[in-house]
Chains A and B, each alone.
Chain A
Amino acid sequence: MATETTAAEGSSLVFHPMDQFIVKPLFGGDTIAWYTPTNVTLWMALGILAIIGLLVLSTSKRAIVPTRMQSIAELAYGFIYKMLEDICGKEGVKYFPYVMTLFMFIVTANFLGLLPMSFTTTSHFAVTVVLALAVFLTVTVLGFVKNGAGFLSLFWVSSAPLALRPILAIIELISYFVRPVSHSIRLAGNVMAGHAVIKVFAGFAAVAVISPVSVLAITAMYGLEVLVAFIQAYVFTILTCVYLKDALHPHH
């Protein structure tokens, strides 16, 4: 990407598709220490405000006949609650605030990232890996706490022929440890790729001849990104539910 950028700089076309992901100090500081307020801080704070606005302020009237915003809040609640209950059963409902936190954080971060000039926090592996590792560790710890050594039966496919079981166990074990990787890279990769592609199309808009095509392409990509923003949050959440189910009921 770096070579491409420097090569393009000579001509009129300037591509910096990755610049939107740069972390900058908010108040013009020099270094980025772990506590520095950066654009990450800003957009995460905006995410918190959006969540509060959507789920707390909109429901402040506690109307029996809901307003539009309250409807959305209730819809989001019902959507995740039903997903969790369908996949994990009644025992899973206990973890609803946890799952809802993940979903609301990712979905608001994704949609805030679609605003022009914004910073998408979920496009960073640092963020999604922490989310995925949190899920992975929670599920693993929960699995052993709930089932003891019985949790290991997750890797011992009792429905397969005995000879195949050790091989399957190895495959299951690998797939188990690959989970946080795929879980996090899927989200960040999708979000990052879409945003970068929009930026690349935007770069072409500088050329008068191609600019109509470029604008159309940006519009189409934006529509797709709106879908991706929701679907990736949904996928992340539903996978969290599936992993949680494994911890609660490890037997195949």
Chain B
Amino acid sequence: MATEPIAEEVVGKCVDSHGSAIGMPQLCFDWFPNQIFWLVVTLVVVFLVLSRVALPRIAAILAERQGTITNDLSAAEDLKAKAVEAEEAYNKALADARAEAQRIAAETRAEIQSELDDAIAKADAEIAAKAAESEKAIAEIRAGALESIQLVAKDTAAELVTTLGGQADATAIEGAVDARMKG
């Protein structure tokens, strides 16, 4: 019995003697100054922590990340441009090399062609010379043959005439053979 009035006095009108709430603790005005005081302290501390340390730091991190991303993107852009440039240079070099190769091939072909033409012309000339020579030789041979035939024919005719008992008149026989040969 002695403790009860003291407890009543201590806890006031918000808590009963068993330590349970009377009504809504939210409406216990005895506690308001305490809560408001600590709330204000807390808010001030949180505000200082946020505005002095946390928020500038997070803002810096986000800005830095944005910067890094932007830099990386522009670097990628640069590299891409460089790649395109390199490809162009490569293509150009390739085209140049192809053209050069074509030029060299054409040149070589022309050189070979002219050499070939020269050789053919020379060979033709040689062949023509040889042919002319041969023709000449053939004509000579032919002329020789004709003379021999005439000679043989005259001899044979004279022999025939003699054998048959005639007088071989050399000039007559010659004339007859010549006339035959022409005929």
Contact = CB atoms under 8 A, between A and B. Distances in A.
B42 interface: yes
B1 interface: no
Interface in B2-42: 10, 14-16, 19-28, 30-42
Contact of B45 (A31, A48, A55, A64): A48
B130 interface: no
Contacts of B42: 44-45, 47-48, 105
Interface of A is mostly: helix
A127 B46 contact: no
Nearest to A57: B54
B27 to A, nearest CB: 7
B47 A124 contact: no
Interface in B100-155: none
A188 B21 contact: no
Nearest to B29: A126
A96 interface: yes
B26 A124 contact: yes
Contact of A52 (B26, B28, B49, B68): B49
Contacts of B27: 125
Interface residues of B, number: 46
Most buried by A among B43, B57, B58: B58
Given A47-B42, A77-B55, A34 B37 contact: yes
Most buried by A among B20, B35, B41, B64: B35
Contacts of B34: 23, 32-36, 38, 40
A16 B21 contact: yes
B25 to A, nearest CB: 4
Most buried by A among B26, B40, B57, B60: B26
Most buried by A among B14, B21, B30, B57: B21
Question: Lowest 10 A-B CB distances belong to which pairs?
Answer: A34-B33, A55-B54, A97-B51, A21-B25, A126-B35, A44-B42, A18-B21, A23-B31, A126-B32, A101-B47
19 contacts: A18-B20, A19-B21, A19-B25, A22-B25, A32-B30, A32-B34, A35-B34, A40-B34, A48-B45, A48-B46, A59-B54, A59-B57, A62-B57, A64-B68, A74-B61, A97-B51, A101-B46, A125-B27, A126-B36
Given A18-B25, A70-B61, A74-B58, 16 more contacts: A18-B21, A22-B19, A23-B31, A33-B33, A35-B37, A38-B31, A40-B31, A40-B35, A40-B38, A40-B39, A48-B46, A51-B54, A55-B55, A56-B53, A64-B68, A73-B54
